[in-house]
């Protein structure tokens, strides 16, 4: 597996990581425990060294799962987790008070069965707490050896600059894919300027870019996508045009639409490391295979032009969720 460094931080990770949220949270019933352990360990055996979790994924169960699964090779992997929600509940509102950050760090260390957190993200910006206080608290945790690197998720450029001035930010984790390219406007140029790495989440459009979802797909009430505007029947029917483009390129490259979507991200910048999630071993193998697919400059330009001609239908989040974004 190719390795990449997240900006100037020196933090080296596999080119593709594993987003572990879906194993316990947001996409239907939790994966059976033994199967989840097997998937995580298979990811490591296949070269993935970058694992993403959060206290809110469960809450708490996802971190416990990773702590168990990664224990045999803890020193060979990078574990990223997150703080910033009240009592670890993503539905309860944000909480980045310094005392909560410290409390989460201590609890996460225990659940992850480790003595340090490699990458500690603020999950969402807390408008009630100055970002300088947040960055300063993480700086203290770094000096104490409990945290190695500071990250932020779904933060805006001005907030990132202010945080970075207090404690260098190693990585930003925001949504980015062929059907959500807003980071290209302001965020990516700033990250390049400051030497900050980028970790795209939902690089496969919450599964839509795999080509396995159609207008006839129905999501259960325990699947987050059931309330996402981009996953209404009408939106999925309209957005199918994007998947059709990926299928066409995939057929030419002896690949899958998901692999083309991931290869596109990998071709953007060497300091990007996407973290597609999955609960299935065959999808894990498919995602890993994207590292070996190289898109030429002509192919990238053609893909960009084809997608520019498509109007993506539907918001990426319900309004109440979008309000939590610091973008």
Supply the residues annotated as catalytic. Answer: 57
CA atoms of 317 and 314, how far apart (whole Å): 9
Length of the chain: 327
The pair of three-digit structure tokens given for residue 292, joined into one six-digit string: 């070996």
Distance of CA 60 to the CA centre of its chain: 18
3-state SS record for the chain = CCEEECECCCCEEECCCEECHHHCCCECCCCCHHHHHHHHHHHHHCCCCEEECCCCCCCCHHHHHHHHHHHHHHHHCEEEEEECEHHHCCCCCECCCHHHHHHHHHHHHHHCCCCCEEEEEECCCCCCCCHHHHHHHHHHHHHCCCEEEEEEECCCHHHHHHHHHHCCEEEEECECECCECHHHCCHHHHHHHHCEEECCECCCHHHHHHCCCCCCCCCCCCEHHHHCHHHCHHHHHHHHHHHHHHHHHHHHHCCCHHHHHHHHHHHHCCCECCCCECCCHHHHHHHHHHHHCCCCHHHHHHHHHHHHCCCCCCCCCCHHHHCCCCC
């Amino acid at each position: 597996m190719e390795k990449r460094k997240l900006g100037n931080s020196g933090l080296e990770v596999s080119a593709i990581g594993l987003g572990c949220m879906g194993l316990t949270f947001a996409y239907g019933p939790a994966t059976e425990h033994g199967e989840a352990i097997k998937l995580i360990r298979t990811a490591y055996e296949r070269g993935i060294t970058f694992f993403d979790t959060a206290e809110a994924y469960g809450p708490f169960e996802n971190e416990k799962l990773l702590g168990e699964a990664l224990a045999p090779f803890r020193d060979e992997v990078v574990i990223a987790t997150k703080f910033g929600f009240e009592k670890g509940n993503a539905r309860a509102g944000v909480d980045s008070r310094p005392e909560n950050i410290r409390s989460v760090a201590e609890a996460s260390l225990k659940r992850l069965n480790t003595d340090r957190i490699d990458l500690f993200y603020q999950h969402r910006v807390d408008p009630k707490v100055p970002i300088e206080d947040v960055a300063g608290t993480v700086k203290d945790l770094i000096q104490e050896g409990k945290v190695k690197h500071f990250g932020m998720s779904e933060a805006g450029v001005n907030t990132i600059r202010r945080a970075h001035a207090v404690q260098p930010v190693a990585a930003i984790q925001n949504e980015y894919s062929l059907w959500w390219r807003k980071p290209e406007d302001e965020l990516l140029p700033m990250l390049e300027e400051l030497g900050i790495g980028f970790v795209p989440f939902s690089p496969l459009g919450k599964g839509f870019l795999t080509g396995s979802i159609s207008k006839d797909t129905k999501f259960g009430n325990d699947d987050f996508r059931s309330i996402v505007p981009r996953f209404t029947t009408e939106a999925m029917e309209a957005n199918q045009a994007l998947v059709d483009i990926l299928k066409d390129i995939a057929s030419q490259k002896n690949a899958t639409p998901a692999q083309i979507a991931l290869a596109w991200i990998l071709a953007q910048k060497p300091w990007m490391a996407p973290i597609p999630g999955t609960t299935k071993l065959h999808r894990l193998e498919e995602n890993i295979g994207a590292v070996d697919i190289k898109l030429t400059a002509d192919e990238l330009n053609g893909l960009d032009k084809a997608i520019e001609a498509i109007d993506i239908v539907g918001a990426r989040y319900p309004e109440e969720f979008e309000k939590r974004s610091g973008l």
